[in-house]
Structures are given as structure tokens and as C-alpha cells.
Amino acid sequence: MRKLVVILPTYNEKGNVGLLITEIFDKLDTLKNWELSILVVDSKSPDGTGTEIKKLRKKYPRLYLLEVAKEGLGRAYTQAFSYLEKNINPYLVIQMDADLSHNPDSLPDLIKKIENGADFVIGSRYIRGGSIPPNWGLHRKFLSVMGNLTVKLGFMKLRISDWTSGYRAIKFWLVKKAFQHIKNYSGYVFQIAFLDFALKNNAVIGEVPIHFRERKSGVSKINFVQYIFSIFLYIFLHSSFIKFAIVGVLGFGVDFGISYLMIEILHKAVWISTLLSTETAIISNFIMNNFWSFSDKKIEGGITKFITSFLKYNLVSSGSIAIQTFGVSLLASLLGKQFWFLYKVTIITLVVIPYSYFFYNKFIWKSK
Ligand code: GDD
Ligand code: MN
């Protein structure tokens, strides 16, 4: 028997959590090989959620209550994790909203994915078979879809369909490994931080479709302005892709600056100036990418490895130069020379950036 704990964070969920707990225990009675407990982590809800749980504990011996201060959803979860490590040390935890938005009918699907080898399973609203409430207003749908798209593109991790979902099954070894990272995120952005950590540490990620329902009673505690701000800040500080794009812009500055200096001020020949400025930009980009953009997978293994990687980097970079030269000349001959700058910008954003990001990840800064 493996231990499984469903964690339910609550703040004023008296009208929902009792029914949810009954449903979960009923549902998982049929589960084989798992010993189920439920941990409610309540932020001293003024509506009496805690008292309600204490009553239910008489009926369900494997229902636990942890009372914490009101410091946000992420903080409630990390406190629950510490509590579990000390008291139960489960094999698997499931994160779930306590407002009946997350249907317990999906629990067996999440668990099955774990049994089939996943470390981190997302209950996803945005894959085939999943959904958000059809009666949500347009602005709410828009926010949810855009939020997810922003994170997806921000990390350039397109295969994850639901970055912000709060319905997840996670093996406890991964929770312990991620703890030092996720404990810094007290609000809803905690969900994104955890998934980002799991991906960077090569956890096996699975997704199963869920139907997200409207909460039964009470109100949402999310503060959208604060949430969106934290998402942008998180992506900016943690996305290799964004850092890589910034390095690209800096590299362009280096390249342009040196060319300008050599051609316009020192009156050197164009070919030598271009050669020197391009190679300097390639070298400085390589160093910035290694120690900043891809710092979590820095090149290790001594000077030989470093030089081989640098040569590979030059090879990929010559590819970028070839794509640009060919693309810009082609478009210029087809559509007219006067818009060359537009062609260059388009080709860089649509082709060169994805191309080089893909090859750097594949051949130079490989996942560990
Ligand atoms: N203990 C505790 N402390 N629980 C909290 C706190 C807190 O400070 N803030 C929220 N919760 C609980 C709520 O009581 C609920 O059970 C769950 O966390 C989700 O909170 P909601 O207020 O219902 O959030 P939502 O429905 O607007 O947000 C949904 O979307 C987010 C982003 O996509 C949820 O699915 C979130 O889990 C998800 O991250
Ligand atoms: Mn909710």
C-alpha cells in the first residue's frame, strides 16, 4: 500500500469542503494499492471551515487539519508539505481546490498516470476532453486562455497545455526536491514555479483532461492584477527563452557597435570589420548564454568540452547567418529592396530565434 494524501487548501470554504471530502473518500474507496488521507490546510477561515473539519474528523479518521496563518495559497501548500514530510511522508500528493471546481471523478485518471510512470500529472483544462465552464464571462475566459498562452510562450514550452491548473498529482520525492525553490512563492504563482522546477529537473510530466466547474458557494480569492504581475516577473527571472532573447539583442548591439566603430571611426575595411564584429558578438553571446540564459545547464567537463561546445555554437550561428542572408535576399528580390529592415526583423523573430533556440537546447545546453 502506498500512501496518498489529497491536500485541500481552504479559506472560507465551509459551504464546499464537507461535501468534497465525502465525495473523495467515497470515490477512492474503490482504489487498489493506495492508502488515502486528506489534509485540509486552513488559513483560520472566519466562516468556521476549521470547526466543520474538526466535526468531520470524528467520521473520517484519516482526515487531518493543519491550521496556518493567511499568507496565500502557495504558502499554505508549502506548509502542508512540511507537515506531511514530518508526519506522514506519503508517496504521492494531490493538490486540489476545495471549492468543488475540481471534480473528484478525475482523481483515478490522475493516479493512473502516476502508476504509468509520470512524476507530475496536471489536470488540464486545455487538452482534448478538458474544459472551462461554458457560462464563464468572456473576460474570464480571455484571462484564463491568455494567461496560459503567455506562460507557454514565455517559457517556449509549448507541449504543456495548462500551466496554471491547481489540480495536480505529484510524487513526494519531487515535492521534497523542489521545496527550496517553491517555498519562495506565497501566492498563486507558486503553481507555475513548481511546474517550471519540475521541467528543469526533467521530471516526467503527464496531463489528463479535466472539466473545471464553477465553484459551488463562496467567492474566489484570486487578485488578478497581483497574479498577472507575479507571472510576468517569474517568467522574466526564470525563462531561459526570455534571457536568450535578451542576449540576442545585446549581441546585436555588440555587433553593430563594433562595426560602426571600425568602419565609421577607424576607417577599416568592411570585410574585416564585419568579420571581427560578428565573431565578437558570437563569443560574447556564447558566454552570456552559458553563464546566464542556460545557467541551470552550464557546460561542464573542462576546457575541451567548452571548446567543442563553442565550435558547435559557431556552427549553429553560421546557420543563422545563412538563413538570414538567404531569407532577406529572397524577400528583397520578391517584394522589393526598400523594406529590407522589415524582412530582417521578421526572419529573425520567426525563423532565426526559434531555430537557434531549438539547436542550442538540442546540441549545446542539453538538459541534464
Ligand atoms: N489555506 C489557504 N490560504 N487557502 C487558500 C488561500 C489562502 O491564502 N487562498 C486561496 N485558497 C484556497 C481556496 O479556498 C480554494 O480552495 C483554492 O485555494 C483555490 O482558490 P480560489 O479562490 O477558488 O481560486 P480560483 O478558483 O480563482 O483560482 C483557480 O485558478 C488558479 C489559476 O488558474 C484555482 O484553480 C487555482 O488553483 C489556480 O491556481
Ligand atoms: Mn476556485
What pLDDT, on the 0 to 100 scale, is given for residue 29? Answer: 76
Q: Compute the distance between CA of residue 150 and CA of residue 86 in angstroms, rounded to an integer.
A: 37
pLDDT, average across residues 150-163: 93
* 166 CA distance to ligand 1 middle (Å): 8
**What is the phi/psi pair of residue 64, to 5°?**
-120, 155
Evaluate: CB of 9 within 6 angstroms of ligand 1: yes
> Taking the complete model, does pTM exceed 0.85, yes or no?
yes
Among all chains, which residue has been given the C-alpha cell 524577400?
331
Q: Which of 282, 274, 260 is nearest to 364 (CA)?
A: 282
Evaluate: CB of 16 within 6 angstroms of ligand 1: no
Question: What is 2-238's CATH topology?
Answer: Spore Coat Polysaccharide Biosynthesis Protein SpsA; Chain A (3.90.550)
- Nine cell digits for residue 53: 473539519
User: 72 with 41: CB under 8 angstroms?
Assistant: no
Instruction: Please report, as a single letter, which amino acid is at residue 146.
Output: M
pLDDT tens readout for residues 16-25? 999 999 999 9
pLDDT tens readout for residues 204-261? 999 999 999 999 899 999 998 999 999 999 999 999 999 999 999 999 899 889 988 9
Radius of gyration, CA atoms only, the chain: 25
Q: Cα–Cα distances in Å, from 164 out to 90, 120, 151, 248, 297?
A: 24, 14, 9, 29, 25
- Nine cell digits for residue 351: 525563423
Residue 368 pLDDT level (bands cut at 50, 70, 90): low
Among all chains, which residue has been given the C-alpha cell 473520517?
60
pLDDT tens readout for residues 128-142? 999 999 988 898 888
pLDDT more than 70, % of the chain: 100
What pLDDT, on the 0 to 100 scale, is given for residue 275? Answer: 86
Domains in the chain: boundaries: 2-238, 240-363
* 197 CA distance to ligand 1 middle (Å): 21
Q: Which residue, by CA, sits nearest to atom 17 of ligand 1?
A: 97
- Widest distance between CA atoms in the chain: 87
pLDDT more than 90, % of the chain: 77
Evaluate: CB of 148 within 6 angstroms of ligand 1: no
Q: Compute the distance between CA of residue 231 and CA of residue 199 in angstroms, rounded to an integer.
A: 17
pLDDT tens readout for residues 30-71? 788 999 999 999 999 999 999 999 999 999 999 999 999 999
Say if residue 367's pLDDT is above 80. Answer: no
Average pLDDT of the chain to the nearest whole number: 93
